[in-house]
Structure 1
């Protein structure tokens, strides 16, 4: 019995050590990369419209996807905004991809987290033109054919023109929300060149 116990104990320890060595390699088998960049106030806004609007974005790789954390300040309190990944930061914006919503608190500060592909390989492609669902009157009935187009910029819009007017901004209507009746753009990544948006900096 003693010989048996003496044999089993080292084997058990070795097995646990092997498991411990294996687990980190599986849980963290990639080199974490991340980038940070600013969001700046859209220069086409009225002079009195959200003069202190600003934001920061952090994107970090988790191997097969990225996590994007967006923090904003100086916006209207208790207001909903819409975030898009876009081709260029200012009008006409080019190809644009709806990511989701961002809600501010009563102090005009907000945070949202998105998970997807936000790196050098982020792109939109349409190998051919085909029918598209028309959920809203403004929906196209087919898509335009296009080769791969990279979308490296970030933009944030008022969810409604009414909210924009309350903030002293222009009350124009844009398609940048789920119902295609959003307000004007508030923040973007225009500190980066049109063809070199910040997402280009993160290697996949």
Structure 2
């Protein structure tokens, strides 16, 4: 693990920002910096999964990562916005206003060169369908943190089918209540157990 990745895993906020500033001044690629931060976020996720970190630490790490992304975004190479194969739509489904996990995935996707269309939280099935139709995006990521909102993911998939768009888009679901059983229930194509897995699935789809 690099020094930057370890600092982020250890939640050493000031050290993280200092290391990022040094790397920028030394001409390190923004994508390489994000890759190191990605490694650190995986470390945080592992500590959270093992019970060593709590939700507060997870939120704190996401805030640090968000600040880094805001600093790096102007320096990042621009992807071809006209290429539908690079586009990923993401949003938290209707009835759920949580966005921590969604934001991490969106930032990691942008860092990997994808053109991310983030619809935010509490997004209706109609809005997802409309955006798929308008943008031609081939991947749709649905996020839910509340147990009672995952059936809304099925509503989105059903709405895509009714609109004749289901065979044109790959649907990935993620969030606390999700697992393979939920994926089968919703009719989604993939279940991502964490942000890094979600990004890797997108890369696999576009190989």
Normalising by structure 2, what TM-score?
A: 0.23
Which has the larger share of strand? 1
Which is higher, the Rg of structure 1 or of structure 2?
1
Which has the larger share of helix? 2
Normalising by structure 1, what TM-score?
A: 0.23
| More contact order relative to length (CA 8 Å, sep ≥ 6) | 1
